[in-house]
C-alpha cells in the first residue's frame, strides 16, 4: 500500500491546525517539512520552533527535509522538535557520517537525490539508508512541474533495492498530483509527497 505524506510548504500558515486535522482524516501517513536556509536553495521555509508547535496537533510521523547547508549541525535540533525521519542532500554534507548519526538517534535516515544527480552518489551507502527521496523537481520551491526523468531513476533504485534484498523505501517529492501519482506508483514509488496540489 502506497503511503502519502503532505508537504505544508504551499499551505496557508494561518490555517495549519485545520489543514493538519483534515489531512489526517483523509488518511495521510505523515507530514513533510521543507527546511530551507536561503543558501542551499534560494528560499526560506520552516524551522524547529514551528515544527515543535505543529507537533502538538497530530501523532503522525514528521519528516524533516533539510534543504540546507551543513545539515549535520542541525540533526539534533530537528529530532528534538519531533521529526522521526531526517532527509539530507549528499552534496551538502558528509553523507556517511550524517546517515550513521541519524540512526544512532533512532530516527530514519533518508537521502534526497536531486534531478541532476545519479544513483551512483548513494550506491555505496545503501546499507545505511532507510528511505530515498527522488526529487522530481529542483529543490527550493513548490508548484513546479513534475520531471518525468525521475521515473527511470525510481525504477532503477527500486531494482537495486530488490536485487540486494534491502529494506529501503522510495519516496518521490515534487509535482505530485492526481495524474503524476500514478506514474510514480507504476514505477515503484512507496511514498508519495504531495505539496501544492493539495492546496489549489
Helix (H) or strand (E) holding 162: helix 149-163
Known active-site residue 34: yes
Does position 65 interact with ligand DX5 (CB under 6 A)? The reply is: yes
End-to-end Cα spacing for the chain: 26
Closest by CA position to 157, among listed 194, 96, 193, 110 = 110
Does position 193 interact with ligand DX5 (CB under 6 A)? The reply is: yes
Does position 37 interact with Zn ion (CB under 5 A)? The reply is: no
Contacts of 8 (CB under 8 A, 6+ apart): 16, 19, 20, 31, 32, 33, 46, 54
Does position 174 interact with ligand DX5 (CB under 6 A)? The reply is: yes
C-beta of 4 vs 65, nearer to Zn ion: 65
Does position 34 interact with Zn ion (CB under 5 A)? The reply is: yes
Give the total of residues touching Zn ion (CB under 5 A): 3
The DSSP secondary-structure symbol of 148 reads: T
Does position 32 interact with ligand DX5 (CB under 6 A)? The reply is: yes
C-beta of 82 vs 142, nearer to ligand DX5: 142
In this chain, which stretch among 11-19, 49-57, 93-101, 166-174 interacts with Zn ion, using CB under 5 A?
166-174
Binding map of ligand DX5 across residues 95-134, x = CB under 6 A, - = no contact: ----------------------------------------
- Distance between CA atoms of 100 and 120, rounded to whole angstroms? 19
Residue 28 near residue 58, CB atoms below 8 Å: no
Name the catalytic one among 37, 130, 173, 190.
173
Which residues partner with 108 through β-bridges? 85
Query: In the numeric block, which cell numbers belong to residue 116?
Result: 541532476
Does position 65 interact with Zn ion (CB under 5 A)? The reply is: yes
Helix (H) or strand (E) holding 16: helix 16-25
Known active-site residue 177: no
Radius of gyration of the chain (CA): 15
- Distance between CA atoms of 108 and 127, rounded to whole angstroms? 12
Q: Which of 137, 157, 170, 184 binds ligand DX5 (CB under 6 A)?
A: 137
Chain residues in the site for ligand DX5 (CB under 6 A): 7, 9-10, 32, 34, 65, 67, 137, 139-140, 142-144, 173-176, 193-197
Which residues are identified as catalytic? 34, 173
Amino acid at each position: 500500500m502506497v503511503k502519502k505524506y503532505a508537504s505544508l510548504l504551499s499551505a496557508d500558515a494561518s490555517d495549519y491546525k485545520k489543514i493538519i486535522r483534515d489531512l489526517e482524516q483523509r488518511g495521510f501517513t505523515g507530514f513533510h517539512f521543507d527546511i530551507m536556509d536561503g543558501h542551499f536553495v534560494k528560499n526560506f521555509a520552516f524551522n524547529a520552533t514551528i515544527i515543535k508547535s505543529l507537533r502538538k496537533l497530530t501523532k503522525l510521523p514528521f519528516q524533516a527535509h533539510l534543504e540546507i547547508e551543513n545539515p549535520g549541525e542541525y540533526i539534533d535540533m530537528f529530532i528534538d522538535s519531533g521529526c522521526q525521519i531526517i532527509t539530507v542532500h549528499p552534496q551538502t554534507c558528509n553523507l556517511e557520517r550524517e546517515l550513521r548519526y541519524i540512526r544512532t538517534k533512532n530516527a530514519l535516515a533518508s537521502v534526497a537525490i536531486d534531478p541532476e544527480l545519479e544513483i551512483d552518489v548513494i550506491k555505496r551507502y545503501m546499507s545505511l539508508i532507510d528511505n530515498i527521496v527522488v526529487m522530481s523537481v529542483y529543490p527550493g520551491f513548490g508548484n513546479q512541474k513534475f520531471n518525468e526523468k525521475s521515473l527511470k531513476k525510481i525504477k532503477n533504485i527500486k531494482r537495486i533495492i530488490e536485487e540486494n534484498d534491502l529494506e529501503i523505501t522510495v519516496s518521490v517529492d515534487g509535482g505530485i498530483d492526481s495524474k503524476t501519482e500514478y506514474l510514480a506508483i507504476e514505477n515503484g514509488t512507496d511514498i508519495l509527497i504531495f505539496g501544492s496540489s493539495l492546496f489549489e
